[in-house]
Chains A and B, each alone.
Chain A
Amino acid sequence: MPQTLAEKIISAHAGRAVTANEIAIVRVDGAMATDATAPLAIRAFREMGGVQLWEAARHDAKRFALVIDHAAPAPNERVANLHKLMREFARETGCVLYDIGEGICHQLMMEHGHAGAGDIFTGADSHTPTLGALGAFAIGVGSTDLAGIMLTGRTWLKVPPSIRIELSGALPAGVTAKDLVLELVRQVGADGANYQSVEFAGEAVEAMTLASRTVLANMVAEMGAKAGMVEASGHPLRADPGAVYAKRIAYDVSRLRPMISLPHAPGNVQPIEAVAGRKIHYAFIGSCTNARLEDLQAAARVLRGQRVAPGVRLVIAPASKRVFNDALRDGTIETLSEAGATFITSGCGPCVGSHLGVPGDGEVVISSTNRNFKGRMGNPNAEIYLASPAVVAAAAVAGEIIDPAHLAGKPGSGGAGERLPPAPSIPAPLR
């Protein structure tokens, strides 16, 4: 019987052919938890009688990783002690530990090869589907489910029905995978893919870098999906012709414009013109969605020779230390820093409201992240708009929401007070 990507991968891990809506018990290839979820998982693992990780993980340390990224470095003694607990657990079990500053969990799993095409990967973080860009069936689980996996190397799954999204055409200049995925979240809805797996395919996906494909897989979480997978060159997995889908979406990306998600729901998406001119206080570039090298470069192209508007702060958290170092080497960091950006530790802090950049009451935030729920960044009295890194950078310069294409001739127009002198010239060319 023809199979979807999810059916194929789950069948290979269940030892029998499965179809959508069946319950399957599967072998898990890899797993990870963060400082937001690992402490509860470790406690549940101990309560289950767990001492050592499941057998395959004992022989291959990379199968289980702990990542300290959600509140790193520790903002207070309570979190410091949770981090200490994770470091001790890693020493005791021999699992991989990525300590503060190494980066955001999903980025690290990709950079260090913790998952690959055809794998089942479980992460105690809802954006785990990010790894679907590599062709992995990667799902977010809670701490106790993860503890069960740490103990047994297995879990149970309902085989998800799949949504096939065929993306044709070529993205116009200045329009990115983020604009596209925001539009798709709008079309599908916040629970439109609940319990389902999303497959992305088509010429527009073929043309994307891995980093851009990652943005698509990452934000299936905002459609409620269990997993999101990219079917494209770079890995061999293909769905069978004739596979049965719950829904098929065909979308031509060639007329897409920069999009923006309005408070307080990721699916509340409009073309950017709808809110152009809205004054902003705080611009953030970071998160597992948009803080990779190409994202920082896109921001630098906008900010080169410009200054962040008076009254606006721009905070940047690169996705990982590797991304930071690459951006350091090619001059991107210098461009951004000269323009007035503040760099913080690679991690999740501002996106999840842990620390390192909480907005004030009544402030308007524009962010390259994935969620704008009320209170998401730590203050329920702030408004969060979600957009691409280029749109965030343009807003930081203009002091208001603006299409980056309209920025020329309008730098600093929205800021209060005096304009700062222009930044010194930036010698290092961008790659």
Chain B
Amino acid sequence: MTHETMKSLLGNAHTYAVDDIDTDRIIPGKYTKTLELGELARHVLEDLDPGFAARVQPGDLLVAGANFGCGSSREQAPLALKAAGVACVVARSFARIFYRNAINIGLPVVEAPGHVIETGQRVRVDLEAGTVMNDSTGQTFAATKMPDVMARILSEGGLVNYLVKYGNYQ
């Protein structure tokens, strides 16, 4: 059975139309030494947009430019976004460790190099078809296909479920 993370997602966009949003801006290093996800959520994007944590609603989408999540390997970055209710991140491109970490914790991330999405617009992401639709403008953008092994990990809801099910990498 396909995990809910592979379903089509529909949500409101929060757009930061800049490149190179690093993991320190997603969650500052001073907050990462914790296993409490609520603590991470309270400080998510704090140095980029101090109002984001209070504004974001469950099911919203984060939209950004190129090289999103560059910098450290901290898995607390995608965890903070997920814990804050972000259902999916759409970016022109991702830094590699962030991309893997997000899939491993079951946070869908979609690379759509040509997206045109503004804050407040309704966005529909179809992970299986590999498309991102801006419902507010009617435009559709192609998403980069992820490797099969990654799609399988995401379809299980993350690497923990995947390894519990398969015992090893398939």
Residues of A with Cβ closer than 8 Å to B?
A: 23, 25, 35-37, 39-40, 43-44, 47-49, 70-71, 78-79, 82, 124-126, 128, 140-145, 147-148, 151-152, 154-156, 158, 190-191, 194-195, 224, 226, 265, 352-354, 358, 371, 373-376, 378, 380
Interface size class of B (residues with CB under 8 A): 35 or more
Q: Are A23 and B147 neighbours in the complex by a CB distance under 8 Å?
A: yes
Q: Contact at A155–B169, with CB atoms within 8 Å? A: yes
B4-12, B112-120, B158-166: which lies at the interface: B158-166
Which one of B22-30, B123-131, B134-142 contacts A? B22-30
CB of B1 within 8 Å of the partner chain: no
- Bound complex: CA A124 to CA B104 (Å): 14
Measured CB to CB, the residues of B under 8 A from A are: 19-20, 22, 24-25, 28-30, 32-35, 47, 66-67, 70-76, 79, 93, 95-97, 100-101, 104-105, 147-149, 158-160, 163-164, 167-169
Q: Which residue of A lies closest to B96 (CB)?
A: A195
Instruction: State whether A144 and B169 are in contact (beta carbons under 8 Å apart), knowing that A35-B33, A191-B20, A378-B29 are contacts in the complex.
Output: no
> Are A44 and B22 neighbours in the complex by a CB distance under 8 Å?
no
Enumerate 10 A-B pairs (CB-CB under 8 Å) in ascending A order.
A141-B73, A141-B97, A141-B100, A142-B100, A148-B104, A154-B168, A156-B169, A194-B93, A353-B30, A374-B25
Contacts of B100 in A (CB 8 A): 141-142, 145
Q: Which residue of A lies closest to B149 (CB)?
A: A156
Supposing A190-B67, A191-B93 touch, asked if A144 and B75 sit within 8 A by C-beta, the answer is yes
In the complex where A158-B147, A375-B24, A380-B47 touch, is A145 in contact with B95 (Cβ < 8 A)? no
Residue numbers in B under 8 Å from A82 (CB-CB): 33-35
Expressed in whole angstroms, the minimum distance between the Cβ of A53 and any Cβ of chain B is 14
Given A142-B104, A156-B149, A194-B93, are A40 and B75 also a contact pair (CB < 8 Å)?
yes
Residues of B within 8 A of A158 (CB): 147
The answer, among A140, A376, A380, for a CB contact under 8 Å with B97, is A140
Complex: A194 Cα to B68 Cα, angstroms = 11
Q: Which chain A positions have C-beta within 8 A of B25?
A: 373-375
Q: Are B67 and A143 in contact (CB under 8 A)?
A: no
Contact A191 B67 (CB under 8 A): yes
| Pairwise interchain contact A371-B71, C-beta atoms closer than 8 A | yes
Which listed residue (B76, B160, B163) contacts A152, Cβ 8 A? B163
Contact check: which of B28, B66, B71, B97 meets A142 at CB < 8 Å? B97
- Pairs of residues from A and B, 10 with the lowest C-beta to C-beta distance, nearest first: A142-B101, A191-B67, A142-B75, A144-B104, A126-B73, A375-B47, A380-B47, A352-B29, A373-B24, A143-B75
Q: Are B29 and A48 in contact (CB under 8 A)?
A: no
Contact A71 B163 (CB under 8 A): no
A376 touches B29 (CB 8 A): yes
Closest to A144 in B: B104
Contact (Cβ within 8 A) B32 A23:
no
Q: Which residues of chain A are within 8 angstroms of B104 by Cβ–Cβ distance?
A: 142, 144-145, 148
Q: How far is the CB of B161 from chain A (nearest CB, A)?
A: 9
CA distance A195 to B100 in the complex (A): 11
A78, B33: Cβ atoms closer than 8 Å:
yes
A44 touching B28, Cβ below 8 Å:
no
Question: Are the C-beta atoms of A194 and B164 separated by less than 8 Å?
Answer: no
Contact present for A375 and B28 (CB under 8 Å): yes
Selected from B72, B93, B159, the residue in CB contact (under 8 A) with A44 is B159
Q: How far is the CB of A248 from chain B (nearest CB, A)?
A: 22
Shortest B34–chain A CB gap in Å is: 6
Residues of A within 8 A of B95 (CB): 191, 194, 224
- Neighbour of B164 across the interface among A49, A155, A190, A380, CB < 8 A: A49
Q: A142-B101, A156-B147, A158-B147 are in contact. List 15 more A-B contacts (CB 8 A).
A: A23-B148, A40-B76, A48-B160, A48-B164, A78-B33, A78-B34, A140-B73, A144-B101, A148-B169, A152-B167, A194-B67, A224-B67, A374-B24, A374-B47, A375-B29
In the complex, how many angstroms separate the beta carbon of B37 from the nearest chain A beta carbon? 10
What is the chain B residue whose CB lies nearest that of A226?
B96
Give the residue name and chain of the B residue nearest to A48 (CB): B163
- Residues of chain B with a CB closer than 8 A to A195's CB: 96
A234 to B19, CA, bound (A): 39
Q: Which residue of A lies closest to B104 (CB)?
A: A144
With the chains together, A128 CA to B96 CA distance in Å?
Answer: 14
Q: Which residue of B lies closest to A26 (CB)?
A: B169
A145–B163 CA distance with the chains assembled, in angstroms: 11
Q: Determine which residue in A35, A128, A145 has the highest number of CB atoms from chain B within 10 A of its CB, and name it.
A: A145
Q: B71 is contacted by which of A126, A141, A155 (Cβ under 8 Å)?
A: A126
Bound CA span A154–B168, Å? 8
Partner pick for A354 among B33, B158, B159, CB 8 A cutoff? B33
| Cα-based distance from A154 to B74 in the complex (angstroms) | 20
Q: How far is the CB of A243 from chain B (nearest CB, A)?
A: 22
Distance of A380 Cα from B169 Cα, bound (Å): 40
Task: Give Cα distance in the complex from A33 to B79, angstroms.
Answer: 18
CA A375 to CA B29, docked complex, whole Å: 8
Q: Contact: A70 with B33, CB < 8 Å?
A: yes
Q: How far is it, in angstroms, between the C-alpha of A75 and the C-alpha of B149 when the chains are bound?
A: 40
Residue of A nearest to B76 (CB): A40
